[in-house]
């Protein structure tokens, strides 16, 4: 993962967007600080990432490996754009999907203990172009664990896509090949990113408030 595509940089002093001007469920009114990334921006950026993925990986059978649970929205939208590109292409490249589930968080802190709690037989990835689709990368331990597992099965090509990547010292050492947004080190939710399984239903990426952290603490 040396040559990486450019990303959209969200600065540390980014003010975000006022919650009052968007449709935020009433139950979350006190639980969020601000809207951080708008849904339209997410979709536009995902469409461009799909083009980058096809340019880099579209010459051979692609297996898209979704990291559950937080990655499913980004995964689904990214694949929809990739499929659209395939339909308008002269090339007929097979693409299949697979799923893996890893857990590393308790509340808003990474435990450092990566648990693989789901997923199919990774031997099916041998000889394929494998695209790991992550929800978010901060410390990078989850993706490093999954990369080491996939590499044992000798894929032809192995790349990683993540919608947001937090600007942390740890993430700098494991930057994905395809990055949607580089964001400050804030705990964000929405667009399937969760806090103890809450906030997945938001279609925008938002910053959780201290009130929200306390209310939904495990």
pLDDT band, residue 128 (cuts 50/70/90)? very high
CATH hierarchy code of domain 8-215: 3.40.50.2020
- List the alpha helices (DSSP H) in the chain: 39-57, 72-87, 141-151, 210-215
CA-atom Rg of the chain in angstroms:
17
- Using DSSP bridges, classify how beta strands 32-37 and 109-119 pair: parallel, antiparallel or unpaired: unpaired
Report in angstroms the alpha-carbon separations of 213 from 24, 57, 186, 198, 210.
17, 39, 12, 10, 5
What pTM was estimated for this model as a whole?
0.88
Q: pLDDT grade, residue 32 (50/70/90)? A: very high
The rounded percent of the chain whose pLDDT value lies above 90 is 63
Name the residue ranges covered by the structural domains of the chain. 8-215
Contact 20, 34 (CB under 8 A): no
d(CA 65, CA 129): 10
Q: What is the side-by-side strand order in the sheet with 62-68? A: 8-9, 178-183, 157-166, 129-134, 62-68, 95-106, 109-119
- In tens, the pLDDT along 56-102 reads 998 889 999 998 888 899 999 999 999 999 888 777 788 999 888 87
Active-site positions read 138
The string of pLDDT tens digits covering residues 134-173 is: 989 887 888 888 898 899 999 999 999 999 999 988 776 7
pLDDT at 3: 52
Report pLDDT digits (tens) over 199-211.
999 999 999 999 9
Band (118; pLDDT cuts 50, 70, 90): low
Name the burial class of residue 15, with classes exposed (0-12), middle (13-18) and buried (19+) by CB atoms within 10 angstroms of its CB. exposed
Please state whether beta strands 178-183 and 188-189 pair in parallel, antiparallel, or not at all (unpaired): unpaired
pLDDT number for residue 2: 39
Strand 32-37's sheet: what is its strand order? 32-37, 205-208, 188-189
161, two tokens = 């896509």
Residue (of 180, 200, 193) closest to 135 by Cα position: 193
Query: Which has more confidence, 27 or 103?
Result: 27
């Amino acid at each position: 993962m040396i040559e990486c595509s450019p990303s959209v940089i969200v600065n540390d002093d980014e003010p975000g967007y006022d919650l009052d001007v968007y449709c935020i469920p009433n139950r979350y009114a006190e639980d969020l600080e601000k809207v951080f990334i708008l849904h339209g921006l997410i979709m536009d950026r995902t469409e461009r990432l799909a083009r980058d993925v096809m340019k880099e990986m579209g010459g051979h059978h692609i297996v898209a490996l979704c990291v559950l649970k937080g990655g499913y929205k980004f995964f689904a939208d990214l694949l929809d754009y990739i499929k659209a590109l395939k339909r308008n292409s002269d090339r007929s490249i097979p693409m299949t999907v697979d799923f893996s589930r890893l857990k590393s968080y308790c509340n808003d802190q990474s435990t450092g203990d990566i648990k693989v709690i789901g997923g199919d037989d990774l031997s099916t990835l041998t000889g394929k172009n494998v695209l790991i689709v992550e929800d978010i990368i901060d410390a990078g331990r989850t993706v490093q664990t999954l990369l080491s597992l996939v590499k044992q099965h000798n894929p032809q090509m192995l790349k990683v896509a993540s919608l947001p990547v937090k600007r942390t010292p740890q993430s700098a050492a494991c930057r994905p090949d395809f990055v949607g947004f580089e964001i400050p080190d804030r705990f964000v939710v929405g667009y399937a990113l969760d806090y103890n399984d809450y906030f997945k239903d938001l279609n925008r990426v938002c910053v959780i408030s201290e009130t929200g952290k306390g209310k939904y603490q495990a």
